[in-house]
Amino acid sequence: MKRIHRLVALVGIGVCVSIAGLDVHAQPATPACDFSAPSLVQAQCLLRPGLAAGEALPAVIVDLLGRQVNDSVPVSTGLPIDVSEAALRASLAKRRIALPDIGGELELGLSVNAAGEPARYFVIHDTSYPVYSSRQSFPRHIDDPHWNRELARRLVVQDRKRDYGAHLYIDRHGQVRASFPFDVARLSTKTERLQPELVGLFIAVECLQPHGRDARGLDTRTPSPAFTRAQLDTLALAYVVASYRARRWLIPALHAGVDAGYAGAHDDPRGFSLALWSGRLALLLRSLQLSGKTPV
């Protein structure tokens, strides 16, 4: 829940990662997640904003993180990830996504924190931009490919000028652009601002999502669907690419989950259905010939 969304007026282009003292997204205090807990426990906490009350983590997430049977094994030792590189490259080619647009080459590792630990979280955001007034319905052009492409281009240009922000921007047509490659540490959450030792552990992905103000002036309205299928598919592909490079399944997280417990924490991604996304992820994994074997 946000108060007045003054971000646009303040910075021209306002995305959800506006953490330099511009947070205006108040939400009730909820317990913070424990970043030292086992992967599945962390995922349950970091993904809770995308779960209905009492809803369990999707089986595909449990399965992937459960493969990493020993969380105490240092990440640097490299845990297997059961995805065919050839199939992954073919999937990218089929969708005409070049590796530089989705974080960089598959052979490269991910960003590291100051202690040299590689990234282990895949954080999903929505841009919460642009924002339409309470009198406006969402214009048709928000689903126009050219409008999407141009807005994503502008957001990437803006992002590259800042010392905080995301790695990727995925528009409503599933087109993706990188503002920074995955091996560059990006500060994208309030949690990292307050715990600098975490900077470098988060791969940050923004999904383009316009918002609309409600009668109270809060920008709670989202388009329908809030996330398009194409967007969810590219998001799943980005998750697999980042995990492939990490040689382990990253812990998926929602920005609101990462920042839970902090006053003024962001509430994005809004309208995100973990069930829908995990369904698209499961389909993708099937096409990537995930064998289902538990690594030894």
List residues near Zn ion by CB under 5 A. Answer: 16, 125, 255, 266, 268
Pick the closer one to Zn ion by CB: 125 or 186. 125
- Structure tokens of 254? 């929602």
Smallest gap from residue 185 Cβ to Zn ion (A): 17
Q: Which is nearer to Zn ion, 91 or 189 (CB)?
A: 189
* Closest distance to Zn ion from the beta carbon of 268 (Å): 4
Peptide linkage before 269 cis (omega within 30 of 0): yes
CB of 263 to Zn ion, least distance (A): 16
> Between 219 and 268, whose beta carbon lies closer to Zn ion?
268
Q: CA-to-CA distance for 1 and 211, rounded, in angstroms?
A: 12
CA distances from 195 to 10, 68, 109, 114, 189 (A): 26, 26, 23, 11, 10
CA distance 236 to 206: 13
Chain centroid offset of residue 252 CA = 8
Number of Cβ within a 10 Å radius of residue 52: 9
Instruction: Identify which of residues 202 and 249 has a Cβ nearer to Zn ion in the complex.
Output: 202
C-beta closer to Zn ion: residue 75 or 207: 207
Euclidean distance between CA atoms 101 and 122, whole angstroms: 17
Q: Least separation, in Å, of the C-beta of 266 and Zn ion?
A: 5
